[in-house]
Chain A
Amino acid sequence: MSGFPGGLRAERRERLASAMAAEGIDVLVVAGNPWRSDYLRFAIDVTLAEGQAFAFVRRDGGTRLIAENEAEAERIRVEQPEIEVSGSRSPIEATAQAIATLGPGRIALAPFAAIPCGLATEPLRASIGTATAMLDRLMLRKSPAEIDAFRRAASLADEGYAVFCKAARVDRPEYALVADVEAFFRSRGCPENFQILASGGREVRGMHPPGERRLAPGDLVTTELTPCVDGYYAQICRTLVIGDPNDAQRRAFAVYDAALEAGVAAVRPGVTAGEVAKAENEVFRAHGLGEYVTSEYTRVRGHGLGLYVDGKPAVLEDVELVLEPGMTLIVHPNTYHPEVGYFVHGDSLQVTAAGCEVVTHTPRKLFSVPGN
Chain B
Amino acid sequence: MRRGLISWSRDEVAASVLDDRVSRLQAAMRKAGLGAVIAYTSFARPSAVAWLTHFVPYWNEAILVVHPAGPPVLLAAFSKRVHDWIREVSHVGEVRAAPDLGRAVVKYFDEHPAAAGRIGVVELDALPWPVAAPLIDRHGVSLVDATSVFAGVRQPADEVEIRLARRASQIAAGAFAAIPAGIRRASQLLAALEGSARLGGAEDVQLRLAADLGSEATLRRVEGDAPLANRHAVQMLVTYKAACVRVTRSLCAGAAPRSWQAAAGWLVRAGARLGEDGLATGTADPAPGRISFWQIESSLGSQPLSAVAGSQGGVAPVLPAGSLASLSVRIDLDDGPWLGGGALQVGGRAADAWIAQESSE
Contact = CB atoms under 8 A, between A and B. Distances in A.
A304 B193 CA distance: 32
A52 B126 contact: yes
For chain B, the bracket of interface size reads: 35 or more
B205 to A, nearest CB: 8
A75 B221 contact: yes
Interface stretch (B158-166, B283-291, B307-315): B307-315
A270 interface: no
B303 to A, nearest CB: 7
Contacts of A50: 206, 237, 303-305
Contacts of A92: 125-126
A127 to B, nearest CB: 12
Contact of B81 (A78, A79, A128, A336): A336
B258 interface: no
Given A50-B237, A187-B188, A196 B58 contact: yes
Contacts of A120: 129, 132-133
Contacts of B262: none
Given A70-B295, A117-B124, A182-B198, A35 B2 contact: no
B191 A184 contact: yes
Interface stretch (B3-11, B108-116, B344-352): B3-11
Max chain A Cβ within 10 angstroms of own Cβ: one of B3, B80, B84, B226: B3
A186 interface: yes
Contacts of B2: 182, 192-195
Contacts of B81: 205-206, 296-297, 336
B100 interface: no
Interface in A166-197: 173, 175-176, 178-180, 182-184, 186-189, 191-196
A187 B187 contact: yes
B59 A296 contact: no
B211 interface: yes
Interface of B: 1-7, 42-45, 56, 58-59, 79-82, 84-85, 89, 124-130, 132-133, 136, 186-188, 190-195, 198-199, 201, 206, 208, 211, 216, 218-226, 235, 237, 295, 303-307, 310, 312-313
29 contacts: A1-B186, A1-B222, A3-B224, A34-B43, A34-B44, A35-B1, A49-B208, A71-B219, A75-B218, A92-B125, A93-B125, A115-B129, A116-B132, A117-B128, A117-B133, A117-B136, A118-B125, A179-B195, A182-B195, A183-B191, A186-B193, A188-B187, A194-B1, A206-B81, A206-B85, A209-B5, A209-B56, A210-B6, A228-B1
Interface of A: 1-4, 33-36, 47, 49-52, 69-71, 74-75, 78-79, 87, 89, 92-93, 112-120, 125, 128, 173, 175-176, 178-180, 182-184, 186-189, 191-196, 205-206, 208-212, 228, 230-231, 295-297, 299, 309-310, 336
